[in-house]
């Protein structure tokens, strides 16, 4: 029985969930949201960002949750997007204001992003599905501060809560290849609550827009308990890294650092990306004391199982930009010490009691030295780090506590 002050319905805007395999956090979060609301409608922005994927299954969702058809069924049909975005009677003032206020005409990349986002948004505004959603009551929850969130100004007069969750790539403009995220100001003026996965993100957006007074709060993401990993019993240091193989993750620094290590290491990397071939080639040049394994496209559940089924000593992440990395949360939950760069919200869950924080601009030689230092730690110190890592997950990354708290916030009008 829902509390008398609870809001009965929730409309959840996602990028593609429950289609495809992205937005894995929502697989857990939706379970707690479904307990807090009588009915939930999921509105995916598009089906997926992978071509030729119209037949992928919908992931399991609770019985009181329904999923609408994606607002943009095929993002790769440029002709349809152009025609549907231009030839309709949707309001155009928002787009023109953005064009002039942000001076997007100054950079070709900004202009392209603005045009692409404007066409998609206007096409959705003219779609019957959007009109029906706009007439619905209840709470509006936009899982990202981009894409579907561009629709938020057109819900401005809806009486319920309008909540946008900001992560990393939808928050930090400098993380974007073109350095621009459209419609930021009208979104902030239209929402009732901005929620962030880190204090760093909350502070960042307030600093970027000091003249806009918007309510904000930190609600962290979390991971479930999949069990504990155990340390090595021999003289081999077993290291895990997990990230996309893209420049910002700087996996190449790990390869270069391992070149300078003379004791036995087993390094396993989880994740794929455009730098795959380059990194595979580079890793083949490592000395014989370094055993390397790349596990490319694997489900998240397989990674969690790997931690339980294999001995792991250290998790390593040297990104130049992050939100609050789920990969670190998963390592902490398994009791694995973490060495990571102090970027984004990472310092909020990693410090010297669970591993080491590294400067963003750390050198290859310093990374190698940190690995050496960890390798030579006394057994009691390593054991303490493992216990502290698990405790950190309990305190700051535990999904059931975090998601129940957030669901309670969403479902109440006060």
- Label each residue of the chain as H, E or C: CCCCCECCEEEEEECCCCCCCCCCHHHHHHHHHHHHCCEEEEEECECCCCCCCCCCCCCCCCCCEEECCCCECCCCCHHHHHHHHHCCCCCCHHHHHHHHHCCHHHCHHHHHHHHHHHHHHHHHHCCHHHHHHHCCCCEEEECCCCHHHHHHHHHCCCCCCEEEEECCCCCCHHHCCCCCCCCHHHHHHHCCEEEECCHHHHHHHHHHCCCCCCCEEECCCCECCCCCCECCCCCCEEEEEECCCCHHHCHHHHHHHHCCCCCCEEEEEECCCCCHHHHHHHHCCCCCCEEEEEECCCCHHHHHHHHHHCECCEEEECCCCCCCCHHHHHHHHCCCCEEEECCCCHHHCCCCCCEEEECCCCCHHHHHHHHHHHHCCCHHHHHHHHHHHHHHHHHHHEHHHHHHHHHHHHCECC
As a whole number of angstroms, the distance between CA 292 and CA 239 comes to 10
pLDDT of residue 4: 45
pLDDT of residue 81: 56
| Residue found under tokens 């599905």 | 129
List the chain pLDDT tens, one digit each, 414 residues: 455 455 579 999 999 999 887 888 899 999 999 999 999 999 999 876 444 444 556 889 999 999 998 888 765 556 555 545 454 445 678 888 888 888 988 889 899 888 888 888 888 888 777 888 887 778 999 999 999 999 999 987 788 899 999 998 899 988 787 889 999 999 999 999 999 999 999 999 999 999 999 999 999 999 999 899 999 999 999 999 999 899 999 999 999 999 999 999 999 999 999 999 999 999 999 999 999 999 877 777 788 899 999 999 999 999 998 888 999 999 999 999 999 999 989 999 999 999 999 999 999 999 999 999 999 999 999 999 999 999 999 999 999 999 999 999 999 876
| CA 216 to mean position of chain CA atoms | 18
As a whole number of angstroms, the distance between CA 335 and CA 229 comes to 6
> Among candidates 144, 168, 154, which has minimal Cα distance to 12?
144
Which residues are paired to 398 by β-bridges? 223
Q: Is the peptide bond before 142 cis (omega within 30 degrees of 0)?
A: no
pLDDT of residue 53: 46
Six-digit token pair at 31?
Answer: 């379970």
Radius of gyration of the chain (CA): 23
As a whole number of angstroms, the distance between CA 366 and CA 371 comes to 9
Spell out the domains of the chain, with CATH numbers in brackets. Answer: 10-222+400-411 (3.40.50.2000), 237-397 (3.40.50.2000)
Angle subtended at Cα 107 by Cα 92 and Cα 176, rounded to the nearest 5 degrees: 90
CB 363 within 8 A of CB 346: no
> Among candidates 82, 83, 118, which has minimal Cα distance to 98?
118
Q: Which residues contact 284 (CB under 8 A, 6 or more apart)?
A: none
């Amino acid at each position: 029985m829902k509390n008398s002050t609870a809001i009965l319905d929730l409309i959840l805007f996602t990028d593609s969930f429950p289609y495809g395999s992205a937005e894995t956090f929502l697989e857990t979060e939706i379970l707690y949201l479904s307990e807090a609301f009588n009915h939930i409608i999921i509105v995916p922005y598009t089906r997926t960002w992978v071509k030729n994927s119209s037949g992928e299954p919908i992931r399991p969702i609770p019985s009181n949750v329904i999923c609408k058809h994606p607002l943009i069924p095929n993002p790769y049909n440029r002709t349809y997007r152009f025609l549907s975005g231009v030839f309709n009677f949707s309001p155009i003032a928002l787009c023109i204001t953005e064009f002039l206020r942000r001076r997007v005409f100054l950079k070709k990349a900004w202009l392209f992003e603005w045009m692409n986002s404007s066409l998609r948004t206007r096409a959705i505004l003219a779609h019957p599905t959007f009109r029906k959603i706009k007439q619905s009551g209840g709470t509006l929850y936009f899982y990202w501060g981009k894409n579907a969130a561009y629709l938020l100004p057109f819900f401005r007069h809806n009486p319920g809560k309008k909540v946008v969750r900001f992560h990393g790539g939808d928050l930090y403009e400098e993380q974007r290849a073109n350095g621009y995220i459209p419609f930021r100001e009208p979104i902030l003026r239209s929402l009732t609550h901005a929620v962030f996965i880190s204090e760093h993100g909350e502070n960042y957006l307030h600093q970027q827009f000091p003249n806009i007074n918007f309510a904000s709060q930190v609600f962290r993401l979390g991971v479930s308990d999949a069990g504990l990993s155990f340390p090595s019993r021999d003289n081999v240091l077993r290291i895990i890294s997990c990230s996309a193989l893209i420049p910002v993750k700087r996996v190449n620094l790990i390869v270069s650092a391992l070149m300078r290590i003379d004791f036995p290491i087993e390094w396993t990397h989880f994740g794929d990306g455009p730098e795959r071939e380059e990194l595979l080639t580079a890793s083949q040049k490592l000395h014989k004391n370094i055993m390397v394994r790349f596990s490319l496209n694997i489900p998240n559940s397989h990674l969690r199982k790997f931690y339980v089924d294999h001995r792991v000593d250290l998790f390593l992440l040297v990104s130049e930009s992050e939100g609050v990395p789920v990969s670190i949360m998963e390592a902490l939950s398994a009791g694995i010490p973490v060495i990571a760069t102090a970027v984004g919200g990472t310092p909020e869950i990693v410090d010297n009691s669970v591993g080491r924080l590294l400067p963003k601009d750390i050198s290859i030689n310093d990374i190698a030295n940190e690995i050496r230092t960890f390798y030579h730690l006394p057994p009691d110190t390593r054991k303490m780090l493992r216990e502290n890592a698990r405790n950190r997950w309990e305190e700051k990354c535990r999904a059931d506590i975090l998601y129940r708290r957030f669901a309670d916030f969403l479902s109440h009008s006060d």
